Structure 1
Amino acid sequence: MIKKVQYTIMLGMIGVFALILVNTNNNPVRESFTYFPPDPDVSFVSARTSLSILTQEDEDEYTLNWKSESTLSEVAYLRQDLSFLYEEGRLIDTMSSWKENTATIHQKQEFTSEDSGHYEAISYHYGEIHYPNDIIRSAQEMSYDQLYVIDSPMTPLESFKKATNEEEKEWEYILDHAMIQQSQLIFKAMVTEYKIHPEDYYIIPLTSLYRYQDKPLPGLSKNETTDVIGGLWAGLYKNYFLGIESTGGRTESPIGSTIPMILLHKQSPYLLVLFQSKSGRNIQLIQYLNEPILDS
C-alpha cells in the first residue's frame, strides 16, 4: 500500500516542547523538533561527520568507525544532532543526540561489516537559542562523509574516500554501478505510481543536500534555502527517523529504506521526498513552503 504524508514549515513559528521517547539503544530521542528562523549572530564553529576503518577483525570482518560531532559558537538552550548511515544506497543505522544548555555534541558508533561496500553518512546539526520575550532562533549545519571499502581475497583490506588511481576508479565503478541501476528502477517505479513528471523538478538525493549548505537550492534564495532545509530535516526526523507510518497506527523502522530523493518543483512552492521502505512500500512526503503546518 502506498502511504502519502504531508508536512509543511511555517517561518517564524513558536515552538512547542516535545515529548521524550527512548529508542532501542537507550539513547533519548525527541518526538519531534521545530525549526525556528536563523540567528544571524550564532553559527557552528565546527561540524563534522567521519567514516573510517577502525579494525579488521579477521579475514571476513572489519569494523567501521562512524562519528558525528559539532560545536556551536555559544551555549544553546537546546542542541541536537542527527545522522544517517547508508551502505549501497540503503539505510543501515542512525544516530541522534540532544542536549540542553550546551554548545557541543559528540556521537560515535562502531559498525561491523564484511565484503566490499560504499558507505555514506550525512548529518544535520541543530541549535535552538532562546531570548527574552519568548523569542527563539536557530542555527543549523550539515556535514557528510563517504568511504569505499575494498575487501577482496586477492588483496589486503583497503579503503578510500575519493578514487585517485585507476584501480580505485574501477572499484568505485563496480560498487556504484549496481546501486545506481537499482536506485533508478525504484525511482522510475515511484514517479510512475505518483504520476510525477521528473522534468518539472530539481532532483537531489538526501546524501547530496550538504552541498547546499553555503549556496542556494535551484530557484531559491539563500534565505529561502535555509528555511527549506530546516523544515525538511524536521519533517525527516518525524516521518523517517522516528519510523515510517504504516496502516493501523503502526510504524515501520527506516532501517533498510532507500536514500530519500528530494524533488524541488521548478514552478510551484513545494517539494516532494520519495523513498522506499525495507518492506517495499513506496513513500511520498510533501513539504509546502511558507504555509501553516498541517496534520499528517
Structure 2
Amino acid sequence: MKKYIFLGFSALAIAVSALMIQLQIVNSTEETITFFPLNESVQYKSASTSLTLQNGKNNGKHTIGWKMQSRLDQEAYLRQDLGLLFVNGLLKGKAAKWEQDTEDVYQEDFISNGESARYDAITFHYSELHGGGDIITSAQRMSDDMLYVIDSRFSPLQSFSVAKSKQEKEWKNVLDKSVRNRLNKSLSKAEKAYGFNALNYIALPLDTIRQYEDQPLNGFTQKETANIIGKLWEGIYKNYYLGIKKSDGTVVDPIDSTMPLILVSNDKSHLLVVTQTYSGESIVLKQLLQENN
C-alpha cells in the first residue's frame, strides 16, 4: 500500500497555540499561502471569477477569457488570489498573483481549445493581516464560474452557463457525464493503489467546495468548516499548484492532472485529496482534522 503525503498541520485548529503560530510564520518575501486564525472583523467587499467565450475562432480553436478579482475592506499585509481552471475535468490553467500592502488583486488570462468542453474555474482569495504584538490573522473567500462551450461543425460556436434549449441540455448531459466518469475512474484507481474504501468518505469535487462558505460540512460547525477550507487550500497550493510530488520523489507539473476530489471521512478524523497526474499515477494527500491525530 502506498503512503499518503500529508498536507500539513491539523485543519481543525480553532484555538491555535502561540508555538504553532510561530511555526507557520514565513518570510515576507516568500510567495505562499499559510493558514492563520481567521479574522472575523475583516470582510471582502467583492470577489469574483468569470469565464467568457471570445468572439470568433483562431486556427480552428475558440478562446475563453478568464478573469479573477477581489477587494478587501482594508489594506492587507499580503494579498493573494489562487485560481485553477479545469477543462472537461483536467487542469488546463493556473494563476496566482501575490501583492503586498494592498486590498485589491486582479488577474486575467486566456485559454484556447478546439472542442466542445465544460470549463470549471475556482479561485481562493486570501489575505494575511498583521496586527499589534506580532498577531497574524487571515481572511479568505472563494469564487467560481462554469461555462459550457459547444464547438461543433454541425452548429454555430456558442456558450451557456445554464442549459435552456434542448440542444444545450443534451450537450450539458454529455459533458457532465464525461467529467463525472473521469473523476470516478481517478477515484477507483486511487482506491486500489492506496487501499481505502470510498464508501467511508463523502466525496466533493473541488469545483463544488465553494458552497461550504455558507453551509457547514456535515458534522462540523461553520467555523470549523472555514478552518478546514483554509488549511485545504494551503495544502492545494503547496502540494498541487506548485507541483505534484510523485511516489518516486520527483515533482511534476499539475497541468493535465484530474480535478482534485476532496474525500471527507465519515468519522471526521481526516480528509483525502485525490488526483491523477497526466501520466496516470494516482496521488492521494492526507490532512488530519483532529488535533489529537
Other-structure match for 2:85:
85
In structure 1, give the amino acid aligned to 2:274: L
Other-structure match for 1:63:
63
Other-structure match for 1:285:
285
Paired with 1:56 and 1:114, the residues of 2 have a C-alpha distance of 12
Other-structure match for 2:25:
16
Deviation per residue, 1:225-248 (Å, 9 max, x gap):
010000000001000000011366
CA contact (8 A) 2:2 2:194 kept: no
CA contact (8 A) 1:3 1:282 kept: no
Q: For 1:183, what is the secondary structure of its paired residue? A: helix
Paired with 2:257 and 2:78, the residues of 1 have a C-alpha distance of 29
Q: For 1:169, what is the secondary structure of its paired residue? A: helix
CA, structure 1 residues 222+162, in 2 after alignment: closer, same or farther (shift >3 Å)? same
CA contact (8 A) 2:92 2:255 kept: yes
Other-structure match for 2:273:
273
Paired with 2:46 and 2:128, the residues of 1 have a C-alpha distance of 16
After alignment, is 173-182 or 205-214 more displaced?
A: 173-182
Alignment of 1:197-208 (within 5 A): 197-208=197-208
What residue ranges of structure 2 are gaps of 5+ in the alignment?
none
Q: For 1:85, what is the secondary structure of its paired residue? A: strand
Question: What TM-score, normalized by structure 1, do the two folds share?
Answer: 0.90
CA, structure 1 residues 161+2, in 2 after alignment: closer, same or farther (shift >3 Å)? farther
CA, structure 1 residues 18+57, in 2 after alignment: closer, same or farther (shift >3 Å)? farther
CA contact (8 A) 2:7 2:239 kept: no
Alignment of 1:216-255 (within 5 A): 216-246=216-246, 249-255=249-255
- Report deviation, 1:151: 1.1
- Report deviation, 1:251: 1.0
CA contact (8 A) 2:84 2:123 kept: yes
CA contact (8 A) 2:262 2:272 kept: yes
CA contact (8 A) 1:8 1:291 kept: no
CA, structure 1 residues 73+208, in 2 after alignment: closer, same or farther (shift >3 Å)? same
Other-structure match for 2:159:
159
CA, structure 1 residues 277+59, in 2 after alignment: closer, same or farther (shift >3 Å)? closer
- Report deviation, 1:89: 0.4
Q: For 1:227, what is the secondary structure of its paired residue? A: helix
Question: What TM-score, normalized by structure 2, do the two folds share?
Answer: 0.91
In structure 2, give the amino acid aligned to 1:236: I
CA, structure 1 residues 135+92, in 2 after alignment: closer, same or farther (shift >3 Å)? same
Q: For 2:4, what is the secondary structure of its paired residue? A: strand
- Report deviation, 1:18: 4.1
Q: Does 1:74 align with 2:67?
A: no
- Report deviation, 1:219: 1.2
After alignment, is 1-10 or 107-116 more displaced?
A: 1-10
- Report deviation, 1:186: 2.1
Paired with 2:208 and 2:52, the residues of 1 have a C-alpha distance of 20
CA, structure 1 residues 3+83, in 2 after alignment: closer, same or farther (shift >3 Å)? farther
Deviation per residue, 1:140-194 (Å, 9 max, x gap):
0011101100112122110001112211100111222233223222211211222
CA contact (8 A) 1:8 1:292 kept: no
CA contact (8 A) 1:2 1:281 kept: no
After alignment, is 44-53 or 187-196 more displaced?
A: 187-196
Paired with 2:144 and 2:173, the residues of 1 have a C-alpha distance of 20
- How many aligned positions are there? 284
CA contact (8 A) 1:2 1:283 kept: no
The percentage of aligned residue pairs carrying the same residue is 38
Paired with 1:254 and 1:58, the residues of 2 have a C-alpha distance of 26
Other-structure match for 2:188:
188
CA contact (8 A) 1:3 1:246 kept: no
